[in-house]
Structure 1
Amino acid sequence: MYRIGCDVGGTNTDAAILDTNCLQDESKGVLATFKTPTTADVTDGIKTAIEEILNRSQIDRRKVLNVAVGTTHFVNAVVENDARRLDRVAAIRLCGPYTRSIPPFSDYPYALRDIVQGPHYFLDGGLEVDGREIKPLDPKQIRETVDQIVAAGIRSIAIVGIFSALDHEGRHEERCKQIILEAHPGLSVVTSHSIGGPGLVVRENATILNAAILSFAKTTIRGFRRAMKDLGLTCPLFLTQNDGTLIEASAAAHLPIKTFASGPTNSLMGAAFLQGQGSISELQDKQVLVVDIGGTTSDICALLPSGFPRKAANFVDVAGVRTAFSMPEVYSIGLGGGSRVRVDDHGKVTVGPDSVGYRLTEEALIFGGSTMTTSDIMVAAGTAGMGDPEKVKSIPEDVVKGAIVEIRRLLEQAIEKMKVSAAPALVLLVGGGSVIFPDGMSMQHIEPKHHDSANAVGAAIAKIAGDVDIIEVLAGRDEDAVLEQAKQKAIAAAVAGGANEEDVSIAELTKIPLQYVNNKATRLLIKAVGSLRVSSDADQEQREAHQDLTGNDLNETQTSGSDAEKAQSAREGSMTRPSVGVDLTTYQPDVRNGVWYISAVDVELCAIGCGILGTGGGGSPYNMALYVFNIIQQKGDGVIKVVALDALKDDDICVFGSGYGAPSVSDERVQSGDEVPTTIEELNKVLGHQDFQGIVADEIGGGNGIITFPTSARFDRPVIDCDLMGRAYPTVEHCTPYVYGHPVMPCCMADAKGNVSVMMRAENNTKLEGMLRTTCVELGNAVGVTGKPLSGKVMKDFAIPNTLSQAWFLGRAVHLARQQKIDFIQAIGDVTPVKLLYTGKIVDVSRDVSRGYTIGQCVIAPLSADEQEENTVSEASKETRNLIITFQNEYLIAYHEPTGSQQEKEVLCLVPDLISILGSNGEALGSPDLRYGLQVKVIAMPAHPLWTQGKEALRVGGPEFFQLGVPWKPVGEYKLPKSVIEEFNR
């Protein structure tokens, strides 16, 4: 029995045929491989490649078990903003009164949005994090909505229900889909629970993309089937998915987004199979990395012990859109077999990043061209046999040596970036450009047989997977039984997808407790994997009948609007963020007569700075920025105003308001936009306040740092350039006026459903926090909260000044560092006192809920010398010990891991001073974003003296409150942040 794999790349289409009875032999069962140029109609290239390997192998075509195709065809349509291949999509949210603050398509770049954006609707339905319904589905409402969609000429619909990951079978979404199709059977409908896990915006983005590409995917897959029929193949057709497993073609026609990254993954899986030294799991003493060298780039990925590639971050950016589907973490550099080699006037040799690419056989010296490439260098060095060696004899020896040194440096540096430990690395070398991999590398490498067709081999040997990504409430339940049930769901999903029931096993299992919930709600991510089941004759007949039915159902692409109109839309606008195209070296915020009029660019900069000041908490500044972008887009720049703290009169009234609850809930059950304004209005009624003069953020950290912006737009009152923490903290009692004796009560809480609670009195602020937390859980664990309004005099005495300005300057510093290619720590240091504590790589993240709330620990290991940035030398980069960071939601303490006989922690920083973890782009990582393998820099910033000079303030805001067991010591001297208003006033 045989398997055929085919991988369609941008330049070449590869095919391979394997004998399943010889997979353990030295040949790995590979009978034939073939490479042919990718054609405009990809089906032609696939047909050519498969026909050639069938002819070469001379096998009985009736004994082919399956054909597996990997293609970047679908993702290319999105990346290229191809209006001819994308449909308009109507988005339906099952959300009740929630999520209106961030409508669908908010996160789409303008060019892509203009092509795919259809109408959107907020309907009844959705779940709370504990499984309760937000509102029951309303069938009449759904029917009326779909009638409107059809009347608008739209044929593709994306359905997104809040916490559909809790609803294991997606009952709300699936029932809504059923109602829609009963009313209009010809529509294409995608449900979000089949696309991704928690995180409303990123899951919805992926669901909309999937809906937009559906018609094109169906047409393309029908073409694949036609090619198989022409070749006399009647076996099942599969497509390879982003995670290296298979999906049956009829399912792929409905979930094409799951194949977007199949190309790189096929190479990784093929390399793991071909390496010939047993399974990856047996290499316990090594970390295994795949290096796939093509004509233009080298792609590097680490393989897990399961043999599957390490996954990328919690979200993946596709064509400027944040999405939630799983993709491998691949690091690419501009180095390939066609990379240009240059020598400057000083004799320095440089390699790439530009390449002659597919023109190698025309432009390289060895083929009679005039461009010196890496392939020429390797032929001149005598380590590669291609072209005419006589044509490169004139290359000076020092140039050859210099180029090889540079190639070695680029590869070793890239490989080090993908390593996650100090264990020896084994490199599996694949790809047509692997001839440029030089001798003398610092790690062992293997170049498997058929390495240049690893992508096609990877498709041929791919297995079937079943995935479970759900949230389970574990309180009062047998945790082992719940986990076992979830495992069985994953196994059942794999078997249903075509896996052999006898060898399915659990390949991956991850448990992530949700923060600030008292019902032990935990996200479970489980993958079961098994080999492809050999079908019986009856199975084959049933599949062929199903394929015929599915083929008949694969309609031609439905479009709304002419292709010309769509193409015009694709050309108009390409901004993904407000700062794109803005020169921040000359940009000045609009400050007139002491009033700062906020623009969308200001919002983006403030959001980045609020992330840094959030010390791991405060909620998502990204989602809050999307909310504010929408307000500015509707109402224009200047609708949000900011004034300085000293502009307040002593008897002015200042109100507060913030999001309160679990960030993991608010990222899914996004605010309606009414929660905070409702608390302000209701509390003012209780207190008899007719008006107020200023709006103050409880905490500048995270999304709460700019939640004041929508409030300003709603009430037409200015935001005050200050906050009550100077960072993020986990409780309401962590506000400076309250610490110094000013009342937080009465305190008001509200959700989007009209539920309002006012706490008039409590014995102390700690008791109030408990009362608020209990009510918050009852209201779904994401609400708006406001404390008693305070006077301008209190604000001037006890608020932390200029923190919104500080966030703005921090955000600008990060952007300028990227733009000017300078160290962002240095750029941040020009804005605020900062100390670089550590440079390293996250090697472990653990979370414990035994105290009733989540306490986490992050372990960061030092980088190797090759991973260090060029020309960067600091004490933090020389450290050989691990760094430990303990967090609740916010980062509480950073200390060196004790080594040897050392018993006491060497504390580098602890609360109330600020600890922030920055990613490679200079933006902060919240504690929910921490994950294995990320390279980070840890910085510390001194807290305002209001936290450090008073005994009670230090007790509440310092190590005693969080039971850290060590005394506080300052990390540095506080300096008042610059004021945007003073700096730019005119």
Structure 2
Amino acid sequence: MKKALLIGVDVGGTNTDCVLIDPSEFGNENKGVLSWNKVVTTADVSKGIERGILKLLDDCSQIEKHDIISVTIGTTHFINAVIEQDQARLDRVAVLRLCGPYSHNAPPFSDFPRRLKRILNGYIGFLNGGYQVDGNEIQQLDEAEIINHAEEIKRLHLRAVAIVGIFSPMKADQELKVKQILQREIPGIRIAISNEVSGIGYLERENATILNAATMNFANKIITSFMTAMATLGLSCPLFLTQNDGTVLPAEECRRLPIKTFSSGTTNSMRGASFLGDVHGKSVVVVDVGGTTCDVGLLLPTGFPRQSSSYSIVGGVRMNFSMPHVESIGLGGGSYVRTDTKSGLTVGPDSSGCDIVNQALVFGGGRITATDVAVAVTKDDQGIDLEIGDAAKTVGVFTEEFKADFKDTIKNMLEKVIDRMKTSPDDISVLAVGGGSFMVPETLEGATQVIKPLYYSVANAIGAAMGKISSEVHVIKILLPGGITKEHIIEELKAEAVEKAVAKGAVKESVSIVYISAEPIPYVSNTFEFFIKTIADVDYSRIQLESEPKVGSTVSEINLLETSLESEEVTKNASTAKESIEAPGVNYVTYQPFINEKRQWLLSETDLEYICIGCYIVGSGGGGNPYSFFLEARNLLRGGDTITVVDVKDASKYVHGDGCIASICYAGSPTVSHEQLSGDALKVCYDYMAKYLQKNPELLFPIEIGGGNGLSPFEISSSSRLNIPVVDCDLMGRAYPTHWQTIPVVYAKPNESCYPPTVISNGNSNTMIIADSKTDALLERCMRAALSEIGATVGVMNPPMTQRELELKTIHNSLSLCWRIGKAVKIARQKSEIDSLPLTILSSINDSGKHLFSGKIVGVERTLRKGHIYGEVTIEELEEPRRKMVIPFKNENIYCKLQNNDGSDSKVVCSVPDLIAVIDADTGEAVGTPDYRYGLLVFVLGIAPSNKWTDSERGLAIGGPEGFDLDLEYHPISNYSPPLSVIDEYGQE
């Protein structure tokens, strides 16, 4: 009877792990493992794979090669090419944006490390095209324009293209059309289209698409080498590669989407641990201990790792690509062990790594590693020789106190990281795998059991061998009144996801839906972002039938493509791969801003970094992520522009008569603005207001300092654009969800409307002036109704103020406040003083606030009402008594209440208008309400607002609990201390 055997291979930097499995015997004691081995990874990876598989076959001589139905390989080669910035393995990329008038201020590669940008940036083209969130075209494609770009790409001898259209995950037609035209014009060109790579989030998706395009050629070569190794061994089964979510890709798909394998190493180990530990149906923490680090992740009841729900960074490049949520600590078999009078005994984070055979005591070296102490402890305590090196070399080396401290240190390190990874306070099973897992204690606080399964050292190869196929559907849909319901759309998308999995080679009967999400889009009526994910068994026979005829021809096609597209320029680039790295960064401790003799603050890139961090923190969870605005402003500086900030006290120097000083911002859906990057909407608003008033605004400032709007004036104020200063002030001192929650409304007379005339524009030939309005609340509703019809995000300009109004009706030094907060965060990170971040940030604002709570997010709920995202986040302490803090939000955090773990004794400890900032405990940067996710470690700060909110009943009625229809009594968290102007502190005498 013909067997059906699987081979799994994990190619690491030091070893290549191989395993041969009979899945029909996986429930037996030996887990179906027929043979396994570790071989040294070779420079020619196919040779190492060949040796490992050949040894598997030699160990099982009774096995026929035709019994093997698949080979699945996990490799870090593609991600390493990016991390190492290896020009010999990366192609230069032509990036074509289908964006119409949008996104030009933050072009491709804006946030790439400079050296990687020099390696990859081949060409940039901005094209007509793109879609709005409602599915309507921003602009139609222009075929002649596309052909012109194709000619330029050919002239530059580029062989990789990334096509990125606005809202292409929702509608891919334009990207596919451009791809067809390019394939016709440039035969053999490699093309990555963004809708296949990831979801909503334009810059992050574009970055991932660029990296995908850059590695496609290298992926072809590596996959061909894998196939060559298989052919040499006489194996004719299909080849798979493991991908980031723990499932597998057919080799042909991986040629097109190598980026999907970037984080497969960690998931291989976690999937292998799932099989070996027999823990399906419940969550379990996996501890994978290697030579240098220990990677800890959470396996869900599905048996797959929990994915990170926010952005990830690979090689310094920010992406929204799905990656497993893993925490790494400096604990491995090669970690150095030391003692000193200050720190006591420490393990890691530095390590001998792969040089352990020359350094560790058990191998005859002279350095004490974790392996040495673990061998000694196991030998002395249990009388067991771990058979790692020579245990006799550790006899008498370590005192009992030293060994006890070592065990306590390891235990403490693991318990802390495991507790951070858990999503509830309940104890959880822990699976220990990896070559260094012999160090993991038998018991750990917070763990119901510690499982060290058989074949733990090759769990990664087992995870690869047992891989399944997955599929995803990620779309945005509008629910029309009286039309198809949300539930009906979900059922349609589930069916689509199943068919997509079957098309990729899944057994239809085995397909299961493992994830369903339907998130409302803020400020866009009846519009939802849907995400469906499936997992299924592989139909090896069907994939084999489809793949076999392609193997030979694919290799030929690759060789032909290499020949046809090689050029002297490409060869020259490859030869300069070892270019020097970038210069060291800024010393944030000693850095000082530049204030000229005119008391003008000329912003630097460092100033922008500080302000960006601070703006998101004072946004109190809302205001939108300022990252894209930061990139736009930084690009202006790098292009030679000057961005000038002036003090409120100096406004008279820049205005004529009473003055014409305007506030600006963007309004609309943060989800939409994250995808549809800004264009010229603010400049259009400025021009229309100037025309309406028949005079030009002479100074600008942000309507709200919180979130992205805090940096928005820089987009048009720079020296190459309007060339006018930005005033260090705003109208909120934070972010609020509505336009009428501003200081001018606080100072207005009853029934007086502050904001007509207001100009709004989408930057795509849709501009309007609201000339009059009975109330500011009505103006707000009219503006929201209009923007929902013209793309769900617009630029806004309020009617200009006089100099006197600027002094009275704004919150002063708000940019300075953000700068100081950002500086504190950057210094703490540079000095590795992350644990003191709460107090450091509070100290930067004159202690006008309070550290309210620290813990882990254990619950998030969201709903959409009247265009705003409502919900609440629950944070739980890591230590006893494990109290909880619950924070309701309406786009921004409204109040927070502290309660016992069982929900009793609940009391409100902070509320608006106080700023409630939820901050990432690992980075010190704000966590916006859209980014709340399970398991994230955070701390919560309450920050005192300007007295202009709290000194009057009207201020509290607008900005306090009453402004959110809450029956709460406001109690200030702290006394307000006005921030010191950066210009005053650092200005020249």
The separation in 1 between residues aligned to 2:152 and 2:73, in whole angstroms, is 38
Deviation at 1:756, TM superposition (A): 0.9
The separation in 2 between residues aligned to 1:481 and 1:420, in whole angstroms, is 31
Matched residue SS, 1:715: coil
Deviates more, 1:827-836 or 1:606-615: 827-836
Give the structure 2 partner of residue 241 of structure 1.
243
Deviates more, 1:400-409 or 1:734-743: 734-743
Give the structure 2 partner of residue 598 of structure 1.
603
Which amino acid in 2 is paired with 1:696?
F
Matched, 1:613 2:626: no
Deviation at 1:349, TM superposition (A): 2.2
Deviation at 1:693, TM superposition (A): 2.8
Q: In the alignment, which of 624, 636, 639 is matched to residue 631 of structure 1?
A: 636
Superposed, 1:164-179 pairs within 5 Å as 164-167=168-171, 170-179=172-181
Give the structure 2 partner of residue 984 of structure 1.
986
Give the structure 2 partner of residue 738 of structure 1.
745
Matched residue SS, 1:136: coil
Superposed, 1:899-918 pairs within 5 Å as 902=904, 905-918=906-919
The separation in 2 between residues aligned to 1:470 and 1:434, in whole angstroms, is 42
Whether the aligned pair in 2 keeps the contact of 1:87 and 1:559 (CA below 8 Å) is no
The separation in 2 between residues aligned to 1:956 and 1:180, in whole angstroms, is 55
Superposed, 1:818-857 pairs within 5 Å as 818-822=829-833, 823-832=836-845, 833-857=848-872
Deviates more, 1:91-100 or 1:742-751: 742-751
Give the structure 1 partner of residue 874 of structure 2.
859
Which amino acid in 2 is paired with 1:471?
I
Deviation at 1:853, TM superposition (A): 3.2
Whether the aligned pair in 1 keeps the contact of 2:868 and 2:891 (CA below 8 Å) is no
Give the structure 2 partner of residue 752 of structure 1.
763
Q: In the alignment, which of 452, 455, 464 is matched to residue 450 of structure 1?
A: 455
Which amino acid in 1 is paired with 2:451?
I
Which amino acid in 2 is paired with 1:817?
A
The separation in 1 between residues aligned to 2:344 and 2:926, in whole angstroms, is 37
The separation in 2 between residues aligned to 1:629 and 1:347, in whole angstroms, is 41
The separation in 2 between residues aligned to 1:899 and 1:543, in whole angstroms, is 56
Matched, 1:571 2:579: yes
Whether the aligned pair in 1 keeps the contact of 2:420 and 2:935 (CA below 8 Å) is no
Matched, 1:544 2:548: yes
Give the structure 2 partner of residue 83 of structure 1.
87
Give the structure 1 partner of residue 118 of structure 2.
114
Give the structure 1 partner of residue 317 of structure 2.
321
Whether the aligned pair in 1 keeps the contact of 2:7 and 2:68 (CA below 8 Å) is yes
Q: In the alignment, which of 274, 277, 281 is matched to residue 275 of structure 1?
A: 277
Cα deviation, 1:563-606, whole Å, max 9, x if unaligned, reads 5545647635537xxxx611111111000221111111111110
Give the structure 2 partner of residue 869 of structure 1.
none
Which amino acid in 1 is paired with 2:548?
E
Whether the aligned pair in 2 keeps the contact of 1:267 and 1:455 (CA below 8 Å) is yes
Whether the aligned pair in 2 keeps the contact of 1:299 and 1:332 (CA below 8 Å) is yes
Matched, 1:728 2:735: yes
Deviates more, 1:176-185 or 1:958-967: 958-967
Aligned length: 953
Matched, 1:254 2:256: yes
Cα deviation, 1:134-163, whole Å, max 9, x if unaligned, reads 112222211111111111111110000100
Whether the aligned pair in 2 keeps the contact of 1:416 and 1:864 (CA below 8 Å) is no
Matched, 1:772 2:776: no
Structure 1 residues 786, 931: CA separation in 2 closer, same or farther (over 3 Å shift)? same
Matched residue SS, 1:917: strand
Which amino acid in 2 is paired with 1:944?
S
Matched residue SS, 1:918: strand
Deviates more, 1:952-961 or 1:455-464: 952-961
Deviates more, 1:410-419 or 1:199-208: 410-419
Cα deviation, 1:35-54, whole Å, max 9, x if unaligned, reads 01111111111111111112
CA RMSD of aligned residues (A): 1.8
Matched, 1:432 2:440: no
Give the structure 2 partner of residue 711 of structure 1.
716
The separation in 2 between residues aligned to 1:289 and 1:14, in whole angstroms, is 23
Matched, 1:797 2:808: yes
Which amino acid in 2 is paired with 1:574?
E
Whether the aligned pair in 1 keeps the contact of 2:70 and 2:540 (CA below 8 Å) is no
Whether the aligned pair in 1 keeps the contact of 2:88 and 2:577 (CA below 8 Å) is no
The separation in 2 between residues aligned to 1:347 and 1:417, in whole angstroms, is 23
Superposed, 1:502-541 pairs within 5 Å as 502-518=509-525, 520-535=526-541, 540-541=544-545
Give the structure 2 partner of residue 817 of structure 1.
828
Unmatched 5+ stretches in structure 2? none
Superposed, 1:281-360 pairs within 5 Å as 281=281, 283=282, 287-344=283-340, 348-360=344-356
Whether the aligned pair in 2 keeps the contact of 1:96 and 1:123 (CA below 8 Å) is yes
> TM-score normalized by structure 2?
0.94
Q: In the alignment, which of 587, 605, 612 is matched to residue 583 of structure 1?
A: 587
The separation in 1 between residues aligned to 2:732 and 2:67, in whole angstroms, is 70
Whether the aligned pair in 2 keeps the contact of 1:114 and 1:570 (CA below 8 Å) is no
Give the structure 2 partner of residue 675 of structure 1.
681
Structure 1 residues 720, 851: CA separation in 2 closer, same or farther (over 3 Å shift)? closer
The separation in 1 between residues aligned to 2:444 and 2:901, in whole angstroms, is 31
The separation in 2 between residues aligned to 1:121 and 1:969, in whole angstroms, is 54
Structure 1 residues 88, 624: CA separation in 2 closer, same or farther (over 3 Å shift)? same
Structure 1 residues 441, 559: CA separation in 2 closer, same or farther (over 3 Å shift)? farther
Which amino acid in 2 is paired with 1:777?
S
Deviation at 1:541, TM superposition (A): 4.0
The separation in 1 between residues aligned to 2:301 and 2:177, in whole angstroms, is 39
Deviation at 1:236, TM superposition (A): 0.5
Q: In the alignment, which of 496, 500, 510 is matched to residue 503 of structure 2?
A: 496
Which amino acid in 2 is paired with 1:764?
T
Deviation at 1:680, TM superposition (A): 1.4
Structure 1 residues 759, 347: CA separation in 2 closer, same or farther (over 3 Å shift)? closer
The separation in 2 between residues aligned to 1:105 and 1:891, in whole angstroms, is 33
The separation in 2 between residues aligned to 1:703 and 1:347, in whole angstroms, is 42
Whether the aligned pair in 2 keeps the contact of 1:431 and 1:452 (CA below 8 Å) is yes
Give the structure 2 partner of residue 153 of structure 1.
157
Q: In the alignment, which of 674, 686, 706 is matched to residue 701 of structure 1?
A: 706
Whether the aligned pair in 2 keeps the contact of 1:377 and 1:404 (CA below 8 Å) is no
Deviation at 1:446, TM superposition (A): 0.5
The separation in 2 between residues aligned to 1:554 and 1:958, in whole angstroms, is 65
The separation in 1 between residues aligned to 2:443 and 2:127, in whole angstroms, is 63
Give the structure 2 partner of residue 7 of structure 1.
10
Structure 1 residues 195, 787: CA separation in 2 closer, same or farther (over 3 Å shift)? same
Whether the aligned pair in 2 keeps the contact of 1:517 and 1:853 (CA below 8 Å) is no
The separation in 1 between residues aligned to 2:544 and 2:392, in whole angstroms, is 57
Identity of aligned residues (%): 40
Give the structure 2 partner of residue 30 of structure 1.
33
Matched, 1:136 2:140: yes
The separation in 2 between residues aligned to 1:919 and 1:559, in whole angstroms, is 46
Structure 1 residues 570, 659: CA separation in 2 closer, same or farther (over 3 Å shift)? farther
Whether the aligned pair in 2 keeps the contact of 1:468 and 1:490 (CA below 8 Å) is yes
The separation in 1 between residues aligned to 2:347 and 2:37, in whole angstroms, is 30
Matched residue SS, 1:961: helix
Give the structure 1 partner of residue 664 of structure 2.
657
Deviates more, 1:951-960 or 1:651-660: 951-960
The separation in 1 between residues aligned to 2:258 and 2:554, in whole angstroms, is 15
Whether the aligned pair in 1 keeps the contact of 2:825 and 2:925 (CA below 8 Å) is yes
Q: In the alignment, which of 392, 409, 412 is matched to residue 412 of structure 2?
A: 409
The separation in 1 between residues aligned to 2:540 and 2:88, in whole angstroms, is 39
Deviation at 1:855, TM superposition (A): 0.8
Deviation at 1:346, TM superposition (A): 7.4
The separation in 1 between residues aligned to 2:901 and 2:255, in whole angstroms, is 55
